[in-house]
Amino acid sequence: MKKIMLLLFVSCFVLSPALGIAYDEMEVKNGGQIMGHVKFTGNPPKLASLKVNKNEDFCGKEKSSEALVVGKDGGVRFAIGYLENIEKGKTIERKKQTDLNQEKCLFAPHVFTLVKGTELAVLNSDPILHNINVNVDGIQTLNKGQPKQNQVVVAKIRRMGQADITCDSHTHMRGYAMIFDHPYHAVTDETGTFVIDNIPPGKYTLKVWHESWKVTGIDDDGRALYDKPVLLSKEIEVPAKGIAHVNFELK
């Protein structure tokens, strides 16, 4: 019996890193940084505004699409840079709560990341009924109405993957999150830059996710449907105590 237990114990340790099951936290020595830049090549398309279907007196008749936000130097906002299959590294900030605000009939921020097992707190800043509907890789994880202003819904997010965030009240409202089991991910700012720090030096696969801006249709409720997200990938090396600059192009 003891032998079997030992065998199970040992095989768990041997197999889990190979399968990418677990992330181990450790002290990172001589950690390096990734500075990623996501740029749009060519002229970005002008996206059609989204029609507001309800509460037009408060929300306005239409809202600008946030599906593709390109800055003056071509930097793409709201892309997510992340390391794939990283098995060990810096400590996860588990206590950190991620805040999402339903404000002026938009999700703010429009795109964010979080770590599996941490809390998402959703505030309704508006004096109208919103709803928070979160589907992670197609599986509904949270669905709650928020009729009152300043109402907060808190939920622990236990699943990894891509979260599609919608409001059942307003068909124009859409947001996204990516949920990871490690802390190495970041969203691009208005210059198209993302920074990931304190990485153990070495070779990695760095991915960039973008929600896609190509409308493929409209669903029964009047909600725009989009093409598959764009996923870009690069093999990179993070130097000890140094910075790896990595450029990505969207077109």
- DSSP code of 77? E
Q: Which residue is nearest to Cu ion (CB)?
A: 167
Contact residue for Cu ion among 124, 169, 171, 193 (CB under 5 A): 169
Strands 224-226 and 215-218: antiparallel
Contact residue for Cu ion among 80, 134, 167, 187 (CB under 5 A): 167
Contact residue for Cu ion among 77, 90, 130, 185 (CB under 5 A): 130
Of residues 167 and 199, the one with the C-beta less far from Cu ion: 167
CA 22 to chain centre: 20
Of 245, 180, 237, nearest in space to 34 by CA = 245
Q: Restricting to residues 78-117, which ones interact with Cu ion according to CB under 5 A? A: none
Q: Look at residue 6 and give its three-state secondary structure.
A: helix
In this structure, are residues 194 and 38 in contact, taking their beta carbons and an 8 Å threshold?
A: yes
CA 88 to chain centre: 20
- Give the tokens for residue 119: 């809390």
Judged by CB under 5 A, which stretch of 4-12, 42-50, 128-136, 174-182 contacts Cu ion? Answer: 128-136
Least distance in angstroms from the C-beta of 10 to Cu ion: 52
Contact residue for Cu ion among 39, 77, 110, 170 (CB under 5 A): 170
Judged by CB under 5 A, which stretch of 161-169, 200-208, 212-220, 242-250 contacts Cu ion? Answer: 161-169
Question: Where do we find the tokens 């794939």?
Answer: 84
Binding site for Cu ion (CB under 5 A): 130, 167, 169-170, 173
